[in-house]
Amino acid sequence: MEVDRRYIAQKAEQYLKQTGIGDVAYYGPEAEFFIFDSVEFGNTGNSSFWRVESEEGWWNREFTSSGYKIPNKRGYFPAPPLDKTHDLRAEMVTIMSKYMGITVELHHHEVATAGQAEIDIRYDSLVKQADNLFKYKYTVRQVAAKYGKFATFMPKSLTKRQR
């Protein structure tokens, strides 16, 4: 049990109370993620690669039917039709709120193009928030998969735009 992270978090909460440091500590992580249309990756003895595609991507010329593109690093709070993932996020929020017992405060598109998203959940104690974050990530990935998309919490999945 000493290596079980949930057990360690429970012990940390007990220590907080026992030492009189405080009754409770609140945690509110900001879990941003990307929703991609396709993801490819590979590794060989002498190379490795990853490739992501998104209808929103400024680099993407394959998806031109809508004519709407979010310029690189200008994706904070765009409205549909620029924000192509609004309805997916809304479904994620509904599932988290209604079925997972998570208090969602808001959701929006984030700065990057290509489906970067954020769903903010209300702060909570360490163990409860860890449980909520586990359910959060599960929900995000499952709803994305339902629509044939891929959700990742990987940081810096897009490189800077080449000039």
| Candidates 3.90.1300.10, 3.40.190.170, 3.30.360.10, 3.30.590.10; CATH matching 25-152 | 3.30.590.10
Distance, CA of 1 to CA of 84 (rounded, Å): 44
Long-range contacts of 1-10 (CB under 8 A, 24+ apart): 5/130, 6/127, 6/130, 9/126, 9/127, 9/130, 10/127
Q: What is the pTM of this model?
A: 0.84
- pLDDT tens string for the chain (163 positions)? 678 888 999 999 999 999 999 888 999 999 999 999 999 989 999 999 888 888 888 777 655 555 667 766 666 777 777 788 999 999 999 999 999 999 999 999 988 878 889 999 999 999 999 999 999 999 999 999 999 999 999 877 776 654 4
Contact at 8 Å (CB) between 36 and 54?
yes
> Residue 81: is the preceding peptide bond cis (ω within 30°)?
yes
